[in-house]
Chain A
Amino acid sequence: MSNSLLRWCKPWLPSGRTVAIAAPFIFLLVFFMLPFAAVVKISFADVQMSVPPYTPIAELKDGYLRIALNFEHYRAVLTDELYIGSYLYSLEVAALTTLICLLIGYPACYLIARSDPARRNLLMMAVLLPFWTSYLIRVYAWIGLLKNQGLINNVLIWAHIIREPLKLYHNNWGLLIGMVYNYLPYLMLPLYAHLVKMDLTLLEAATDLGAKPWQAFFTITLPMSKRGIIASSLLVFIPAVGEYVIPEILGGSNSLMVGRLMWDDFFVNTDWPAASAATCAMVLLLLLPMAWFQRIQRREMEAQ
């Protein structure tokens, strides 16, 4: 009985393969893609003192469908100096963070990748350990170092290098140091993975053929690690643009990154449509680097 029922149902039931693919697919669609639709919708609404604090886009009233689109917030994002300034500032901070991370991280990864296998696993674990401990605590930790009476200033004054404490806390220095510190492990992990996989026989061949060490580095090592450099730089740059916690804790009141602006729009001014428009603008701004990252990741997956 149940068997024949099953056979009758079979053509209408999705195959196991379809179900296996569809389940995570739908989960991601609902909780990753659909939310963007909500953001786009509310970015066209207007502020209103109500719960939730925005006007409806489409209303059915007396048999008429009334659609009210408000472009005011996009105009503000595109023309307001506060917004434009903070977008540029965020891009600048993110670019600088990425560059400094590369300058610190590349030589470190290179050295670790070239040391003997037992040692390099231990070293990489040591790089990643801070990545696992609380992000919030790691940002907070820098207050104790950067303050006027903090560790850095105390040591420098004690060593008679400076007389007056350096101003490092609650300004752009603090922000940048905190950013580099927190994003360094993100950069080092993929970069290391690329450098350690590299075929060393090419380098040997180059040296055998008479290349000087620096020549071999610039003609072989650096070009071969290009993909690793790009992937790990994007892994730092993209999230860094939207950083909120680090500028809030270590930056000054003028370190106005977009993340902070959006937070204030949302929680302080309760202007959800403005925050939504700013979100859309940020997504558009980051679309290109994200597509680039996606392409690299896909190639990585297919290479495996």
Chain B
Amino acid sequence: MIKTNKLLGNGYLVLVFLFLYVPTAVVVFYSFNESQLVTIWSGFSLKWYSALAQDGEVLSAAWASLQIALATAFSAVFVGTWAGFVLNRFKSFRGLTLFQAMINAPLVIPEVIQGISLLLLFVALQEAVGWPARGMFAIWIGHTMLCVSYVAITVQSRLSSMDESLHEAAAVLGAAPLRVFFDITLPLISQALISGWLLSFTISIDDVLMTAFLSGPDSTLLPMVVFSRVRLGLNPEINALGTIFIGLVTVAIVVNNHFMLKRQRRRDREMALAYSQAALGGEPRPGL
């Protein structure tokens, strides 16, 4: 192993993290700037936040985006979990290769391709059967397609790292497959589901391309409003919006990680307790 010089190594990592964090820090910092000129500091002020709160276009777009993001998060977790479960459980069936390809390809395929092709499908469907038009429903499906693969892969890898014996035990004790899924599998992968839900929500709420292709006249979403303003350059209101966004996501991730660690520790402790009691020949007491 290369004996990396500790100082050099740490210095390098500090530089990488500066690269990752300085840009967003700048956005947060200047969101509290009083001046209209975004890069010149002229004093602390919350006026861009109040401007944002009175900006009707942003507010109604944010409301629509929130609805789509919530719907997307649930549908992506539903379909993604199902797909991930199939990937893990059924090792050989006709079309397995195609199925795997359809899960993996969306991870890398440029979004502009997926956007155009889904739009053309919806247009052709509308020609043929009159439904669905471009708009909220189309966007919902499009965003779901962007997120399903992430959820499926997370769930699949979580399932394969799991103890098979738990399922076998439940099945041996007479539980039906569906019962095993809901009583054993689902609780064990709940963390993966929460991560998938959060990721889907964040992908949906600031997706530009898919939204632009699939939106109709009735559906102006937040990312499109932000994008059309950002194209023109810096904008103090967008700084404020970005800060709110960064704050919310950071809190969600940190809380999620905190609970994940806590649950992990509790589970380990309970397992250790159960094993030690089994070793002593005692019944594990309920409620521990």
Contacts and interface: CB of A to CB of B under 8 A. Distances in A.
Q: Which bucket holds chain B's interface residue count?
A: 35 or more
Contacts of A223: none
A238 B102 CA distance: 16
A134 B206 contact: yes
Contact of A136 (B117, B198, B223, B257): B223
B286 to A, nearest CB: 33
Given A130-B21, A150-B39, 16 more contacts: A24-B86, A31-B121, A33-B102, A35-B121, A38-B124, A132-B199, A132-B253, A136-B206, A141-B24, A147-B39, A204-B1, A244-B209, A245-B209, A263-B112, A290-B108, A301-B100
Interface residues of A, number: 95
A245 B105 contact: no
B82 interface: yes
Contacts of B238: 137, 140
Q: With a 10 A CB-CB cut-off, give which of A112, A125, A235, A239 has the most chain B CB atoms.
A: A239
Given A21-B93, A130-B21, A242-B110, A137 B242 contact: yes
A85 interface: no
Given A145-B23, A297-B100, A279 B116 contact: yes
A125 B257 contact: yes
Contact of A129 (B2, B82, B85, B250): B250
A234 B7 CA distance: 32
Interface of A is mostly: helix
Interface stretch (A5-13, A66-74, A103-111): A103-111
Interface stretch (A76-84, A156-164, A213-221): A213-221
A213 B3 contact: yes
Q: With a 10 A CB-CB cut-off, give which of B12, B27, B108, B152 has the most chain A CB atoms.
A: B108
A301 B26 contact: no
Nearest to B120: A38
A144 B38 contact: yes
Contacts of A203: 1
Given A137-B246, A245-B208, A304-B157, A35 B230 contact: no
B1 A114 contact: yes
B22 interface: yes
A160 B11 CA distance: 24
Contact of B19 (A123, A133, A181, A214): A181
A154 B13 contact: no
Contacts of A235: 107-108
A262 B102 contact: no
A291 to B, nearest CB: 9
B230 A140 contact: yes
A143 B95 contact: no
A176 interface: no
B123 interface: yes
A123 to B, nearest CB: 7
22 contacts: A20-B86, A25-B86, A32-B145, A38-B124, A123-B13, A125-B253, A134-B202, A137-B27, A137-B206, A140-B238, A141-B27, A144-B23, A144-B27, A149-B39, A149-B40, A244-B209, A249-B230, A276-B116, A279-B116, A290-B108, A301-B87, A301-B100
A38 B160 contact: no
Q: Which 10 A-B pairs have the closest CB atoms?
A: A242-B110, A35-B117, A141-B23, A137-B242, A38-B120, A24-B83, A238-B108, A304-B160, A35-B121, A28-B102
Given A144-B234, A241-B110, A301-B87, A137 B17 contact: no
Contact of B108 (A126, A127, A213, A293): A293
Contacts of B23: 138, 141-142, 144-145, 181
A48 to B, nearest CB: 13
Contacts of A21: 86, 90, 93, 99
Interface in B49-108: 79, 82-83, 85-87, 89-90, 93, 95, 97, 99-108
